[in-house]
């Protein structure tokens, strides 16, 4: 059965923030949603096997703020049972949806059969979608985390997560809404198989399919093939499943042009949003070249303060973000180098005060 949940309620066209490993953490998503208006945001992908075995440190990826809604948790892996446990757990954390990563090209992921590796095993890929959909259905019908087999350590840690994200600890207070399951993938593994692959995915009717216009072998080299994406989009349209294109979207204007030209329901944007939380519109209209140095530096400091307040990751994780803000003004290179040498918020504040 096709259940699209919040995807049905999004204003069209859909222009959202793509999940990026090591990038779309809670602080970055907060900044993007505070300074612009993405249609939807996704967390970094997180491994289901680790979560199923009680790796509570991995839960940090699922911190989220109410201003991010709709916010989707992205997961990856190959173990069917682990998907079930994680999906029930994520529903208990109040996410608006769950996305299965079937597109990561990293060797350490794909060689184990997950990420883009699942393109080579469509039978397993379909079982993972089916299992995740069953898990969120069971959640909506009242299953407990204990009965779902969620690790005791994860159950305990989720109490703190619910308090941080939703304002309360008890799972009984979480709305047991049915949430949609979607997929993010690529046009192929070592060759383009987008249409055949899309047909496989549509057998399980995910709420949405996002497809990157490169194969795993291409990684992020060359240009994304939007003509191929258009063919996959047409198949999804016939099935009632929304389809988002991904790859080489350079600006908000470019996003609208690609949506109109290739017949997709929308796009997810990745690299163009780095150091540019204004990308998705808002007061600055998403035009990066019009963002002044003063606004960039104010955002740099705000980002660093919020990241430190969350106290969820080591400080070095934010330094690449601080560096990405340093572009488009005289002295940006020196500023970038100074910020990359910082070790804490106090040092960032000192640099800002010396401007």
Q: For 303-320, what is each residue's pLDDT tens digit? A: 999 999 998 899 999 999
Burial track 109-132 (b if 16+ CB lie within 10 A, e otherwise) = bbeeebbbbbbbbbeebbebbbbb
Same domain, 74 and 198: yes
Number of domains in the chain: 2
Domain assignment present for residue 280? The answer is no
Same domain, 179 and 62: yes
Domain assignment present for residue 323? The answer is yes
User: CATH number, domain at 16?
Assistant: 3.20.20.70
Q: What mean pLDDT, rounded, does the chain reach?
A: 93
Domain assignment present for residue 278? The answer is no
Residue 219 has pLDDT above 50, yes or no: yes
**How does pLDDT run across 240-268, given as a tens digit for each residue?**
999 999 999 999 999 999 999 999 999 99
* Domain boundary residue, one of 244, 273, 302: 273
Same domain, 218 and 182: yes
Q: Give the range of the structural domain holding residue 90, as residue numbers without chain letter.
A: 5-273
Q: Which residues contact 56 (CB under 8 A, 6 or more apart)?
A: 153, 154, 156, 157
Looking at per-residue confidence, does 312 or 221 come out higher?
A: 312
Same domain, 349 and 239: no
Same domain, 307 and 260: no
Q: Provide the whole-model pTM.
A: 0.95
Mean pLDDT is lowest, of 5-9, 214-218, 301-305, for 214-218
Domain assignment present for residue 160? The answer is yes
Same domain, 311 and 259: no
Domain assignment present for residue 75? The answer is yes
Gyration radius of the chain over CA positions? 20
Same domain, 308 and 255: no
> Which pLDDT score, from 0 to 100, does residue 283 have?
43
Of 237, 192, 234, 236, the closest CA to residue 212 belongs to: 192
**How does pLDDT run across 263-285, given as a tens digit for each residue?**
999 999 999 999 999 999 854 44
Same domain, 262 and 304: no
Same domain, 213 and 243: yes
> Which pLDDT score, from 0 to 100, does residue 289 have?
60
Domain assignment present for residue 284? The answer is no
């Amino acid at each position: 059965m096709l259940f699209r949940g919040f995807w049905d309620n999004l204003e069209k066209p859909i222009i959202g923030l793509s999940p990026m490993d090591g990038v779309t953490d809670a602080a970055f998503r907060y900044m993007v949603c505070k300074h612009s208006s993405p249609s939807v945001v996704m967390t970094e992908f997180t491994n289901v096997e680790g979560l199923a075995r009680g790796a509570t440190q991995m839960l940090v990826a699922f911190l989220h703020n109410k201003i991010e809604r709709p916010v989707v948790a992205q997961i990856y892996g190959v173990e069917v049972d682990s998907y079930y446990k994680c999906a029930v757990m994520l529903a208990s954390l109040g996410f608006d949806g769950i996305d299965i990563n079937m597109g990561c090209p990293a060797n350490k992921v794909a060689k184990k059969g997950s990420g883009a590796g699942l393109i080579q095993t469509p039978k397993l890929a379909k079982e993972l979608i089916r299992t995740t959909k069953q898990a969120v259905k069971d959640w909506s019908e009242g299953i407990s985390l204990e009965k779902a087999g969620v690790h005791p350590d994860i159950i305990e840690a989720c109490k703190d997560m619910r308090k941080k994200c939703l304002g309360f600890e008890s799972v009984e207070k979480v709305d047991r809404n049915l949430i949609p399951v979607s997929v993010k993938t690529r046009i192929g593994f070592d060759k383009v198989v987008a249409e055949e692959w899309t047909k496989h995915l549509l057998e399980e009717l995910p709420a949405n399919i996002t497809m990157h216009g490169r194969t795993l072998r291409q990684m992020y080299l060359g240009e994304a093939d939007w003509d191929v994406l258009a063919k996959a989009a047409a198949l999804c349209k016939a099935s009632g499943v929304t389809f988002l294109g991904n790859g080489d979207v350079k600006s908000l204007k470019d996003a609208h042009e690609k949506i109109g030209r290739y017949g997709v329901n929308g796009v997810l944007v990745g690299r163009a949003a780095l150091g540019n939380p204004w990308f998705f519109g808002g007061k600055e209209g998403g035009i990066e070249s019009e963002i002044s140095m003063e606004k960039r530096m104010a955002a740099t400091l705000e980002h660093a303060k919020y990241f430190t307040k969350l106290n969820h990751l080591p400080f070095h994780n934010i330094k690449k973000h601080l560096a990405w803000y340093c572009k488009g003004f005289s002295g940006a290179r020196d500023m970038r180098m100074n910020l990359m040498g910082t070790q804490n918020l106090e040092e960032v504040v000192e640099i800002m005060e010396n401007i």
